[in-house]
Structure 1
Amino acid sequence: MHDPNTLVQTVPLMLGGRTVAEYVWRPHVPNTLSPRPFLHPVRTLAGTAVTEAMPPDHLHHLGVSLAVPDAGGANFWGGRTYVHGKGSLPLPNHGVQRHHRWETRTDTVLAHELHWIGPDRTMLLRERRRIAARPLDHRAWALDFRYSLHNLTPEPLDISSPGAKGRTGAGYGGFFWRAPGGESDTTVLGPGLTGIEHLHGSTAPWLAFRNSGPTPWTLVLINRQAERDPWFVRGADYLGAGPALAWTAPLTAAPGEGPRRRIITVVADGDLGPRAIEDLVDAVAASPAPREA
């Protein structure tokens, strides 16, 4: 879909004739939000939205996206930049992730190449991203998100975070899901764990949000890496989570190299209990990845 008034371009992900997510692959947002492709709204099979984009508390939170606070000195997260000893400052250092070309574009699989461009228009990173919608059962589907980043500069490039710069517990950056709701109506749990205090900074294989609102839903974020990144989790001021690339130290990418990650998120109707969540995690492990057409 192309809206000539806003320049926004989106493409749907569909399962069984239903649109389960909209991928905004060419966004039109202020530069201070670090423009980047994002998924919003993502919906359950019954149609309940489980993402938020540009909420008043954090305008730079864009549904489901890949964002890092610092890559080679450029802010690809949006908003203020943390400076050690000075706090979070508004700096003119925002980068942009720009669509370059499609590799696959079907109802269930979207794959494309992106370029990460710094504020001085230097191309810092090339990314290959693959997003797929996978059916699970009558109440749930899975969003399969894979990416690989490649340093395009001639020198090692640091991917960093406020946590890596001394701000305790703020090692965010990477795949990030901003969800609606908050701590009052949402339970956060992992395998044998309940509560943000037990999961924030952990390397649990999965993390779940259970929302008990008027139209209950459950999200289960599954980290598919053998060596898992720590979870960044928030629930009090807002609801969001993602595995962090630079929790307490920068991730350094040599020229031509960079991180590769895969996160699968189960999107389910209903406030599901631990056993039902474990069953869905097992179902994801057993289900085949969708074929690229």
Structure 2
Amino acid sequence: MSLKSEYIEDKTLRVRYGDQVLFDYIYRPDTHAQYCPRPYFHPIRTLAGDILTNDRPTDHPWHQGLSLTMSSVNGMNFWGGHTYSRETGKYANIDNVGTQLHCEWIDEKPIENGYAWTETLDWIGPQGQTVFTETRTLTIRDIDPEVGFWRLVWESDLTNTLGETIRHNSYSSGEGLQGSGYTGLFLRMSRGFDRTGVHIFDNKEIPEWDDYHDSETILDSPDQLNGWKSSRLAYQGIFDTSLNGCLILCEDLTENPPYTNHWFCRPQFPCLAWSTAYHDTHTIDVGETFRMKHSLGIANGFWTKERAQTLWLGTTESV
């Protein structure tokens, strides 16, 4: 089998593996302005055909599959929906929501066992000002139909073009809302994906499985994950209807990151963010570039921690 891609109506990049649609990347969305229009992936499928993502769920319609978010950029909202204020202690809809505007595709090329696409974007503030220019590279690689595994690597370079210093934070680090570290690459998962366990890798050089649960079966709630500091995690679940298992392997691959990676999640619904500002506010000077590189691996089936560790060791060195 091989990867095949097509551009649909200059709005969607559709990628197939064999006869199956692997994902749609909607780069010119029709999103409501209050929900922060931005390019996003949906659906993302496993090689077994199960849909991992959710788009515009009723509880948070500004959640859009897999997308890049920043909840506070000098007070501007680049994740959509309500904005939290420490002064009022409440969320409110205010005129501070921005847009991520796709400009053009500047490169696409095959790589070993995969393919890469590069685009440029402008981050536009609520008053029409350009806040960031971004170069984004999306890479599909490590496709293994026998294992049922494939991986997406997301790289973003955001350069401050606002003309003033940018302060980037989350509601946790900026407004003091405990536990609300929501910012960064955000994955809203299907309601039909039932989470069953989380594992943490804390050592990037020699990946050891640091299991913070009490039991070897790893069936405790993953909600303890919120605020957890690590560069890697393995997240196990099962899909409704098909009853197929799925393991997602998530990793922060940023070299010399200007932030400390923490994971953000919520107990009410399956979601996950590579939070770049959970506890800290970051200053981005005029002309300075803020870099992120994250990986999402998707594997079919049910995995023991030993098997997942072997899978990770077999793929991570190629990134």
- TM norm. shorter chain > 0.5: yes
| Amino acid in structure 1 at the alignment position of 2:108 | R
8 A contact 1:189–1:199 mirrored in 2: no
Task: Name which of structure 1's ranges 105-114 and 84-93 shifts more when overlaid on structure 2.
Answer: 105-114
Residue 182 of structure 1: how far off its partner (Å): 7.4
- Which residue of structure 2 aligns with residue 263 of structure 1? 294
**Structure 1: unaligned runs, 5 residues or longer:** none
Residues 1-293 of structure 1: pairs in structure 2 closer than 5 A: 1-2=7-8, 9-16=11-18, 18-86=20-88, 87-105=90-108, 108-137=115-144, 138=146, 139-164=148-173, 165-181=175-191, 185-191=195-201, 192-193=210-211, 194=213, 195-196=221-222, 198-213=224-239, 214-225=243-254, 226-227=256-257, 228-234=260-266, 236-287=267-318, 289=319
Residue 136 of structure 1: how far off its partner (Å): 3.9
- In 2, distance between residues paired with 1:16 and 1:109? 17
Percent identity over the alignment is 27
Give SS of 2:265's match.
strand
| Amino acid in structure 1 at the alignment position of 2:181 | G
1:152-189 deviations in whole A, cap 9, x for unaligned?
02211111211111001111101111112379543233
Give SS of 2:24's match.
strand
Task: Name which of structure 1's ranges 243-252 and 179-188 shifts more when overlaid on structure 2.
Answer: 179-188
Residue 135 of structure 1: how far off its partner (Å): 2.5
State the TM-score, normalizing by the size of structure 2: 0.83
Q: Structure 1 17/2 Cα, relative in aligned 2: closer, same or farther at 3 Å?
A: closer
- In 1, distance between residues paired with 2:311 and 2:18? 19
Give SS of 1:268's match.
strand
Give SS of 2:312's match.
helix
- In 1, distance between residues paired with 2:292 and 2:45? 23
Give SS of 2:54's match.
coil
Q: CA RMSD in A?
A: 2.0
| Amino acid in structure 2 at the alignment position of 1:66 | L
1:186-244 deviations in whole A, cap 9, x for unaligned?
3233232345354322222212221123122121111113554111122x211111221
8 A contact 2:193–2:238 mirrored in 1: no
- In 2, distance between residues paired with 1:241 and 1:52? 12
- In 1, distance between residues paired with 2:141 and 2:194? 30
Residue 20 of structure 1: how far off its partner (Å): 1.3
Give SS of 1:19's match.
strand
**Aligned residue pairs, count:** 283
| Amino acid in structure 1 at the alignment position of 2:234 | A
Q: Structure 1 42/182 Cα, relative in aligned 2: closer, same or farther at 3 Å?
A: closer
Residue 248 of structure 1: how far off its partner (Å): 2.1
1:38-82 deviations in whole A, cap 9, x for unaligned?
011011112111111101111011000001111122211011001
- In 1, distance between residues paired with 2:299 and 2:172? 32
Give SS of 1:146's match.
strand
Residue 276 of structure 1: how far off its partner (Å): 2.1
